Amino acid sequence: MSRIPKNRMSTITTKTAGRLAHLPLRNRFRLPPTLVGVTIVAVGLLATDATRPALAQGADAPPPPVATATPPETAPAADTDKKPPTAAIEDVIKKHEQELEQARNRQRDAIDAENKLKAEIAEIGQDRNKLNRQLIDTAARVRSIEERIAETEDRLRMLDQREVMIRNSLDARRAETTEVLAALQRAGRRAPPALMVRPEDALQSLRTAMLLGAVVPEMRARAERLIGDLGNLVSIRKENTEQREKLIADRDALNTDQRRLAALIEERQRKQNAVEKDMEAERVRAAELSKQADNLRDLIAKMEQDLKSAAKAAAAANSHGTPKALGKNMGALKDPGRLSPAIAFASAKGLLPMPVNGVKLRGFGSSDGTGGTERGISVATRPGVQVTTPCDGWVVYSGPFRSYGQLLILNAGGGYHVLLAGMERISVNIGQFVLTGEPVGTMGTASQVASILAAAPSQPVLYIEFRKDNTPIDPGPWWTASEGEKVRG
């Protein structure tokens, strides 16, 4: 195809423009296809030639038009959004000052709240009953919020998995979705043939009806499946958002209650240390005795024989831990000022709460993985959760012991002992009397019990053991039904 000379192309373009100018307004956009094509080609070639350098156009080519200077009044305005460097620096400094002021306000609010809380705790600390009640109630709230957070996180994991499944299904059917949408669009744009214009239109209508009768049901089913999946995806995302907002609110409430609980525990231990003047010497003596003990049986025996505060606690347990009539003492379980167990441990079957929320890893009597059997139960927990006492009792040991991590031993009276191991921190002292549900420690971020490391190396685990006359027994009958369900096996 020979190229059209530029002078000839200019003539064609001029004539085309003249024809367009003489056409009525309603016909200017109804040009013949040939004329439209010639116009487009001409404009394109002219644009190409206009942008071509003068040296490439030949000696006889007219020079490119000289750009005229834009008058000052018509020149494009300067970019007013760009600020001088000094103004930009001032804006950054001002922003940092605002952020610093907000941080100072938050710090002042936190200090005021802490001072208010300390004053409240100091007032409560004057009354032992109030202090114990606040400890138990706050610990119960913390445990409840921890449980809600765990449930919400499980729910979010399930929702995320369902969303991924639906999205993968939709991605796999992307071609089918496109086909369905295109078919529905074509069907909506195509009008049905008239029946009364020509006789042959009736046959066309019949054929169309037969075709639609075969295609529409399948198309409808595919469209309904697509609509159902999209509706489920929208619902899941909405529920996911609601669950995340709930999780944020629960975490804020947990932080508030944990700060309050820490202040209450500090006040409790301050009062305990004021009563026990030689607590530091007792801790040193307890550490020496724990090194001499070969196993838990030896540790319990040594502590209750050789350590002054533990021996005192054991004597109190033996004198106050005798069985009592359960029916007459149910109200005593709610007394926060009691100094001895409300009921005997042997009579508390079916009444004790689990000391922690979690998932049971190993049960009493199951294999311990080394050829032996478990003497207690192991519960996997979330990091940093609160540990509470499952029963009333006296602390006869509190500290690290061999492969058990931080170990707490309670003498519940009547020859019964309760052992809790695997905590990162214990907040009670030897010789101290604690009530059911009272906070005694917190879990860490990984397992502290050596025998559980193989089963849950990166998860905190609480080991719980009950003993009668220093012999391990099954703790199952003592747990309440609801608490047994919370600790899922």
DSSP 179-194: HHHHHHHHHHHSPPPP
pLDDT of residue 56: 40
pLDDT at position 434 is 93
pLDDT in tens, 455-489: 556 789 999 999 999 999 999 999 987 655 556 54
pLDDT of residue 46: 36
Closest CA to 269 of 85, 99, 439, 412: 439
Tell me which residue of 478, 195, 209, 251 sits closest to 346, measured CA to CA: 478
**Please, which residues bridge with residue 411 across strands?**
394, 417
Q: For strand 393-400 and strand 406-413, is the pairing parallel, antiparallel, or unpaired? A: antiparallel
- pLDDT at residue 53, as a whole number: 43
Mean pLDDT in residue range 116-127: 64
Question: Torsion angle of alpha carbons 228, 234, 236, 239, nearest 10°?
Answer: -140
Q: Are 298 and 312 in contact (CB under 8 A)?
A: no
The DSSP symbol for 307 reads -
What's the confidence (pLDDT) of residue 306?
Answer: 85
Question: Residue 217's pLDDT is what?
Answer: 72
- Per-residue pLDDT tens over the stretch 377-418: 999 999 999 999 999 999 999 999 988 889 999 999 999 999
Q: Which residue has the tokens 């003592």?
A: 478
Residue 391 is classified by DSSP as: S
243 in Cβ contact with 236 (< 8 Å):
no
Q: Which amino acid is at 128?
A: R
SS3 string, 276-293, reads CCCHHHHHHHHHHHHHHC
Q: What is the pLDDT of residue 233?
A: 86
pLDDT tens for residues 170-195? Answer: 788 777 667 666 766 666 665 555 54
Q: In the structure, what pLDDT confidence band is assigned to residue 17 with cuts at 50, 70 and 90?
A: very low
Give backbone dihedrals phi and psi of 372, rounded to 5 degrees, phi first: -105, -170
Which segments within 7-92 are labelled E, that is strand? none
Q: Is residue 352 very low, low, confident or very high in pLDDT (cuts 50, 70, 90)? A: very high
Q: Is pLDDT larger for residue 110 or for residue 26? A: 110
Q: What is the pLDDT of residue 486?
A: 56
The pLDDT of 266-291, averaged and rounded, is 80
Residue 214 in this model has a pLDDT that exceeds 90: no
Our CA dihedral for 188, 193, 196, 202, rounded to 10 degrees, sits at: -130
